[in-house]
Structure 1
Amino acid sequence: MASILSRIKKYKQKIWARLKGERASLFMFFFLFSCVLWFLIKLPDRYTTTVSVQPNYTGVPEGQLLVNPVREIRMDVNAKGFKLFNLKYFESTVDIDLSELRKTGNKFYLLATDIRKQLRTAMPGEVELRQLDRDTLFFQLGKNITREVKVIPEVEVSFARDYHIYDSLTVSPGKISVFGPDVEVNELDTLYTVKLMLRDVSDDIHINAAVNIPKKYRHLKFKDKKVTVSASVERFSEEKLTVPVSVVNVPEDKTVRTFPSEVDIVCQGALKDLGKLKPSDFTVACDYKAIADSMEYVPIRVTKMPETVRRIKLSRKQVEVLIKNTKTGSSG
């Protein structure tokens, strides 16, 4: 008996669940039907709303290009629901004639009155144009040109111990041709590569890098969009040389001796260049004109050194001087 009652209970539950599902479906059907019916009843009424249209520009002056024009015009219109539905929810384009553009200086424009006149002609007769989202529509006109633009590498390098760039980073090609409207191409003075991160470098650099083209210029045509960044890398070290000290601008009636007569120079440079250095490649001097009567020491400086030497350090910054008059033989 209990088994029969259990089956009857389950059967009632299934019937109730089915009825609930059917009721939900019926409710949704009638709800949607009511919405559609209400929509159809309201479509013949007139309404005011904001719509957007995509302008199709015609009549661009001969030999000129339209640069980054406005791609959307928003306006308030009054029309029946049928028309508004099409304007608002389906893409709508209108022709805008630019053959009679106004000009002030280097700027071209159409006033709201010019635009309204053209839009009224382009829009269906039963659509009433109320207001535009702008008073003036500005335009840039240009002509196509080709220009060479310099490329600069953006590289962050860390070197292995004692290694450095021997000369400098170079880019090949160093300039790339850019083609497009002059008003945009002429804005480009310099382009950079994407940033390169090089770590623990001990070999020559030779790597391809993309040119980082700003988003606003990506529609222009670039002859090259990749360049090669190169540099010679060498091991650097130090070399010490002993160089004589000379005195310049000494009068004919004077002789000058320095103490010490020689100083040490510590040179930093590429290992391959340091082995070629000799003392005669350097000149260390002090200036007689810098000697005052009361001075015993004068500053010295390096007045000549090879271009391959990166840095130098003198073992001292000044020397003692002894001055003699050649005619009398007395010391100063």
Structure 2
Amino acid sequence: MVNWVIDKIKKALKKRKVKIFLVFLVFSTLIWLINNLSESYVSTASFDLEYVNVPKGYLFKGATDNELKVKLEAGGFQFLGFNFKHSKIAIDLADAQHKDSIFYIPQEIYRKQVERQLSASMSLIDIETDTLFVGMLAVVSKKVPVKPNIEVNMARNYLLDGQMEIQPDSIAITGPSEEIDTIVVVRTNKLTLPDLDSDFSETIEIYKSKELKNTEYSIGEVELTAKIARFSEKVFEVPITTVHFPNNIDVKTFPDKVSVVCKAKLKRLKKIEASDFEVIADYGQLKDGITDELKLELRKKPSGLHSVKLQKNSVEYILNKK
């Protein structure tokens, strides 16, 4: 029994020594790693390039290089960071030079841009790429109105109350002159609104033709709003007034009244009377010869109507000399 206890103690001591050894090994390794990473090294690193500040009047079409390989002197910890992420370097296109239609940035120019964006503890030793070539397209801009491509189906006895509004009602387009010279209006995508009986507000995207490959739009969508109101219909019997007939001629129309059909809000219709309308038949239409009928003209109508029309556009007549 005593021997068994002694063996157990020996095994426990051995396990403890192993654990202590492992702990010391881990700490020793960390100390060694920290000491080494704290030292300066010369190594290569890669940066993703982001091209900014496109010159006015041009459209950026791409570049020969989207990644830049450089040789840096930096601490080990900083190089370790490059292994986990790609840092970005902004290339300012305002410094680009061009000959005819070829745009480029020599290394001595963009090198300074790179150095300004490195941390103070980094030194740029060398750059693999000599010159950055950039694709640029000469463009023009103009403002054009937006026309909605919308189909509105109203519920029974409901109509648009006023004009549909578009915000904004015009946008700027930028592209090569051969693409946009003939554009006088831009349209929205098709939108169908069925059985409307209340005010609406809809966001709709602007349609972009596939043929306009190099044209950019200042915005991609517009807001359409409209008021919807319940309307009613009423018919007024309005006397026909004959005008400009000679004093020695008596004219009689058949019938002597015409029905005028109005659509408006019920509140407005209640305030309208037949006397608010004037329908005339003008003698001037007989100057070129006798006709079978006299054409009618709605000369006067009240405001605030959605629509108004005559049920008859002409009437028969008899002329008698006094």
The TM-score normalised by the length of structure 2 is 0.50
What's 1:283 paired with?
Answer: 278
Q: Equivalent residue for 1:83? A: none
User: Structure 1 vs Structure 2: percent identity of aligned residues?
Assistant: 27
Partner of 1:261: 256
Determine if the alignment matches structure 1 residue 155 to structure 2 residue 177.
no
Letter in 2 for 1:231: A
Cα shift at 1:242: 1.9
Is the partner of 2:194 in helix, strand or coil? strand
* Residue in 2 that maps onto 1:305: 301
Question: 1:258 Cα deviation (Å)?
Answer: 3.9
SS in 2 for 1:280: helix
Partner of 1:323: 320
Against the structure 1 CA distance between its residues 216 and 272, is the aligned structure 2 distance closer, same or farther, given a 3 Å change threshold?
Answer: farther
Give, as a single letter, the amino acid of the residue that structure 2 aligns with 1:172: Q
Q: 1:243 to 1:235 in 2, by over 3 A?
A: same
Post-superposition offset of 1:241: 1.1
Q: In 2, are the aligned partners of 1:65 and 1:141 still within 8 Å (CA)?
A: yes
Q: What is the aligned counterpart of 2:208 among 188, 209, 213?
A: 213
CA RMSD of aligned residues (A): 3.9
CA contact (8 A) 1:238 1:267 kept: yes
In structure 2, the residue matched to 1:179 is 174
Unaligned runs of 5+ in 1: 1-61, 72-97, 102-138, 326-332
Measured against aligned partners, the alpha-carbon deviations of 1:209-240 in whole angstroms (never above 9, x if no partner) come to 11122234465443321211122222233211
Q: 1:196 to 1:296 in 2, by over 3 A?
A: closer
Query: SS of the counterpart of 1:250?
Result: coil
Preserved contact between residue 295 and residue 313 of structure 2 (Cα < 8 Å): no
**Alpha-carbon distance between aligned partners in 1 of 2:145 and 2:285, rounded to the nearest angstrom:** 47
1:232 aligns with 2:240: no
In structure 2, stretches of 5+ residues that fail to align are: 1-54, 65-97, 102-134
Provide Cα deviations, 1:122-173, integer angstroms capped at 9, x if missing partner. Answer: xxxxxxxxxxxxxxxxx99634x33212111111222211212233333110
Structure 2 vs 1, CA of residues 174 and 246 (structure 1 numbering), >3 Å: closer, same or farther? same
Matched letter for residue 138 of structure 2:
G
Give the distance between the partners of 1:218 and 1:176, measured in 2 at CA.
Answer: 18
Shift in CA distance, 297/217, structure 1 to aligned 2, threshold 3 Å: closer
Distance 1:205 1:165 in 2: 10
Mapped pair 1:274 → 2:269: yes
Compared CA separation, residues 272 and 214, structure 1 to 2 (3 A): farther
Tell me which amino acid in the other structure corresponds to 1:305. Answer: K
Whichever residue aligns with residue 186 of structure 1, its letter is D
Distance in 2 (alpha carbons) for counterparts of 1:302 and 1:191: 37
Matched letter for residue 171 of structure 1: I
**2:185 is matched with which residue: 177, 185, 190?**
190
User: Is residue 296–residue 321 contact of structure 1 (8 Å, CA) maintained in 2?
Assistant: no
How many residue pairs end up in the alignment? 202
Q: Which secondary structure does the structure 2 equivalent of 1:215 belong to?
A: coil
**Structure 1 residues 251 and 68, CA, compared in 2 at 3 Å: closer, same or farther?**
farther
Structure 2 counterpart of 1:25: none
The answer to whether the Cα contact below 8 Å between 2:297 and 2:313 also exists between their aligned partners in 1 is no
